[in-house]
Structure 1
Amino acid sequence: MSVSAAGIQAAASGAVEPQFSSSAPQAWMIETRTQTDSMRASAELKRAMMEEEGVRHDVYRDVAGNLTVGVGHLVTASDGLSLGDTISDERVMELLEADLEHAEKTVSDLVGDLPLFQHEFDALVDLVFNVGQGSVSQERSPKLNEAISAGDHQSIADELHYHSAGGATAKGLIYRSERRANIFLNGSYEDPRMTA
């Protein structure tokens, strides 16, 4: 998958959406609930995530104090990056794809045999990407796991709200949670701030 440098920069500024290309059919076109083991994040979700996270080429500290770069990528020792380092557009996309692959697998493991619509899968991928794998565990999110076990899609949507980072409520996370619930319930990827 590739994206042009102009596309990433424009996405970060909100001017135009990035151009994604792939030889595979777009996964978001799935119109029936299906098993998640072959599902991948849709282009719509990637655009929404770039809007929410922004695209940062310089390593910075996020609201929780974590070193971050690209599209909300938490820097690890294996990345070989330090505060203030700059990465290319290509590295931004490589990091995003790797993070999404991890989130997609986590969602597939989390939901097990529960079939999902593409937009439901996307919302859960966004949740895992945003709050981390540990936050959706049975111990930390028992209601989410109960809703999944029961196949109760409305209750799953009710558990997609996370509003704090670093112990403080963040208005951006409130909007992101609303957007995530709209994606899950309605397949609407629009930014709720635009309609508020």
Structure 2
Amino acid sequence: MELTRDATQMRIPAKHIGVSDAMKETLAQEEGVRLTVYRDVAGYPTVGVGHLVCPEDRLKVGDTISFERALRLLENDLRQAERAVRRLVGDLMLYQHEFDALADLVYNVGEGNVSENESPMLNRAIARGEYRDIARELHYYHAAGAKAKGLVYRSKRREAIFMDAKYEDPRPAGIGVTRLSDA
């Protein structure tokens, strides 16, 4: 009989973990759910739940998409983020919430920004299995060369998710909360 692996109860290999529903809701809160293509704080065309528009999307600023397409884009982006986290952590054992926080990081900043060259301290902490140090390296505050207040909150939330499985929004009440079920 095979022992059930439950990443909410014990650390398991990242290859057996995917982004949780709680993290999907958190992403919707952080990114918002926007059905019209807009430019994000860095100036990139974006739609859905923080999906960076690419040529194969055949979209331009001002175009609209359906909610169903936004969900499909989210699921595709999450699959890419999950694969990137697995490459990043290798054999490191993770809890579900640790995986979720790392997936949020990759989703937010892109896999290239967590590479050894761009994030050597993060990679060093992962290689050593130093979980507290990994949490400290989850802070990314800048977009287009400027500090963004929203990214400060997001980084605090990401660290709380990683360390304590706390998915709650750290912003003062009433500031920018969106749920997938509300969109």
Fold match (TM-score > 0.5): yes
1:107 and 2:85 equivalent? yes
Q: CA deviation at 1:31?
A: 1.0
Q: CA deviation at 1:162?
A: 0.3
Q: CA deviation at 1:84?
A: 0.5
User: Counting helix residues as a fraction of each chain, which structure ranks higher?
Assistant: 1
Instruction: Please say if residues 28 and 43 of structure 1, whose CA atoms lie closer than 8 Å, have aligned partners that are also in contact.
Output: no
Match of 1:154, SS?
helix
Q: What is the rounded CA distance, in whole Å, between the counterparts of 1:190 and 1:133 in structure 2?
A: 25
Q: How does 1:29-108 map to 2 (within 5 A)?
A: 30-108=8-86
Normalised by the length of structure 1, the TM-score is 0.84
Q: CA deviation at 1:28?
A: 7.9
Q: Extract unaligned runs of 5+ from structure 2.
A: 174-183
Counterpart residue number, 1:176: 154
Counterpart residue number, 2:100: 122
Q: Extract unaligned runs of 5+ from structure 1.
A: 1-26
1:140 and 2:118 equivalent? yes
Identical positions, percent: 56
Two-structure CA RMSD over aligned residues (Å) = 1.3
- Runs of 4+ with >3 A deviation: none
Q: CA deviation at 1:38?
A: 2.2
Match of 2:43, SS?
coil
Alignment-mate amino acid for residue 126 of structure 2? I
Q: What is the rounded CA distance, in whole Å, between the counterparts of 1:153 and 1:40 in structure 2?
A: 19
Give the paired residue count.
169
